[in-house]
Amino acid sequence: MFLGPFLTSTVDIYVTRRSPGVYILSRDGKTVAYVGRSDEDLSSRIKQSIGEGSYSHFWFEYLSSPKEAFDKECEYYHKYNPPENKNHPGVLPGTNWKCPIIGCPFS
């Protein structure tokens, strides 16, 4: 279940579990600017991404595995076409994961 939007200053309040997951960052709380994931520690990854841009809001979702996080990141990447994602979501080294979206060149 996707949660948010929350102010980026509140990551530690809302993202309390060390877990794989996905997140969306926004500059206005309405428009998706960036989609990302973490394979291990969602809170740390969100904070790292917030530090790389001037984002004001975020949404997040805990997931049960890195593969599930990759699949969901691909889903949101294709759904929102975020302008600040320069590349298609990458796979975890040592895996042969494919994008679950039909018609994607990475599927």
Mean pLDDT of 28-43: 97
pLDDT recorded at residue 80 = 97
Domains, in order of start, for the chain: 3-80 (3.40.1440.10)
Q: What is the pTM of this model?
A: 0.94
Contact between residue 23 and residue 60 where contact means Cβ atoms under 8 Å apart: yes
Mean pLDDT of 84-104: 94
Tell me what percent of the residues of the chain surpass a pLDDT of 90: 90
Structural tokens at position 43: 């809170």
**For residue 106, pLDDT beyond 90:** no
In a 10 Å sphere around its CB, with 0-12 CB exposed, 13-18 middle and 19+ buried, how is residue 68 labelled? middle
Q: Which pairs count as long-range contacts for 42-45, CB under 8 Å and 24+ apart, including other chains?
A: 42/15, 42/17, 42/18, 43/11, 43/12, 43/15, 43/16, 43/18
Mean pLDDT of 68-97: 95
**For residue 51, pLDDT beyond 90:** no
- DSSP state, residue 42: H
pLDDT recorded at residue 2 = 87
Mean pLDDT of 69-82: 97
